[in-house]
């Protein structure tokens, strides 16, 4: 798994969401690296990490603990946004002794209905060969019904080739495994499987519908020590919309676990 490491101290691993890369939480990493060793990763099928044909949360959790092993880290604080939050949660449930604390940004441990069909349609229909100007790609995604901010974010995955452009991410692999990525294996409120009782913080966007009151019991069943924060005036991309507030909340929570 591709990663970059900076700073010194107790380890914090930052995990991006679907279609992202290790730069998504870079500003948070720059704040945390003043007191911690920060490891920002490219999730498999993203960025410069390996491409997987089969991608699910048990496998991703195993990859996370393997990364900690390779870095000789007995444990680390995990911070994840969206899909990255699910990876962090799956790791905490599978190997709680490896997780010093858990921060989950705007996602719940539940199965979601599909909400990226327009994105996949736009990305998969984008003609990659024979172009040398990125503006064609932006115009294509806009005409496919994708808003400009999302389109610009998605196009960070585009890289030049000898014949035009290609994707850094494994687009076909992400589409094939999408049902597993929006799913979850422990979403019953009567769930009696493994739980993570360590310190955990769920941060949600006040305008987002990813984490709602209906998810409360399910979250508590799996993460009984949870604290919750809402950042008003933000949606699902809370870390990009109000980075100063988000970064401060996460940094202060992690620092409290060090006392």
Q: What is the pLDDT of residues 201-250, one digit of tens each?
A: 999 999 999 999 999 999 999 999 999 999 999 999 999 999 999 999 99
Q: Residue 209: what pLDDT? A: 95
Q: Residue 112: what pLDDT? A: 95
Q: Which is catalytic among the residues 10, 82, 100, 251? A: 82
Query: Could you identify the residue written with the tokens 């327009």?
Result: 118
Torsion sign, CA atoms 64, 66, 69, 70: negative
Q: Which is catalytic among the residues 16, 36, 140, 236? A: 236
Torsion sign, CA atoms 222, 60, 251, 257: positive
Q: DSSP H helical segments within the chain, as ranges?
A: 26-32, 57-70, 83-94, 117-124, 135-143, 148-154, 171-182, 216-222, 238-241, 243-257
Q: What is the pLDDT of residues 149-199, one digit of tens each?
A: 999 999 999 998 888 899 999 999 999 999 999 999 765 555 667 899 999
- The per-residue pLDDT of the chain, averaged, comes to 93
Is 81 annotated as catalytic? no
Least confident of 4-18, 125-139, 231-245: 125-139
Q: What is the CATH number of domain 3-112+183-257?
A: 3.40.50.1820
Is 197 annotated as catalytic? no
Task: Return the domain boundaries, the chain.
Answer: 3-112+183-257, 117-170
Taking residue 186's Cβ as centre, other Cβ atoms within 10 Å add up to 19
Cα separation of 92 and 79, whole Å? 11
Torsion sign, CA atoms 252, 225, 105, 56: positive
* Beta-carbon contacts of residue 209 (< 8 Å; ≥ 6 apart): none
Q: Residue 190: what pLDDT? A: 55
Least confident of 33-42, 84-93, 125-134, 202-211: 125-134
Whether 28 contacts 14, CB under 8 Å: yes
């Amino acid at each position: 798994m591709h990663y970059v490491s900076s700073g010194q101290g107790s380890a914090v691993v930052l995990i991006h969401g679907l279609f992202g890369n290790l730069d998504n939480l870079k500003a948070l990493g720059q704040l945390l690296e003043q007191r911690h060793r920060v490891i920002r990763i490219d999730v498999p099928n993203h960025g410069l990490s390996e491409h997987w044909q089969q991608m699910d949360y048990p496998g991703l959790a195993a990859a996370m603990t393997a990364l900690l092993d390779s870095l000789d880290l007995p444990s680390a604080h995990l911070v994840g946004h969206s899909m990255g939050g699910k990876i962090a949660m799956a790791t905490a449930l599978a190997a709680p002794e490896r997780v010093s604390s858990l921060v989950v940004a705007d996602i719940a441990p539940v199965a979601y209905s599909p909400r990226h069909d327009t994105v996949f349609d736009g990305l998969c229909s984008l003609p990659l060969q024979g172009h040398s100007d990125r503006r064609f790609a932006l115009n294509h995604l806009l005409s496919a019904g994708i808003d400009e901010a999302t389109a610009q974010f998605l196009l960070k995955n585009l890289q030049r080739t000898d014949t035009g452009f290609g994707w850094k991410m494994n687009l076909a692999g992400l589409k094939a495994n999408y049902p597993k990525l929006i799913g979850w294996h422990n979403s019953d409120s009567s769930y009696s499987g493994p739980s993570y009782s360590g310190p955990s913080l769920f941060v949600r966007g006040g305008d987002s519908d990813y984490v709602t009151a209906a998810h409360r019991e399910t979250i508590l069943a799996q993460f009984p020590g949870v604290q919750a924060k809402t950042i008003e005036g933000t949606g699902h991309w809370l870390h990009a919309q109000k980075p100063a507030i988000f970064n401060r909340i996460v940094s202060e929570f992690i620092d409290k676990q060090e006392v």
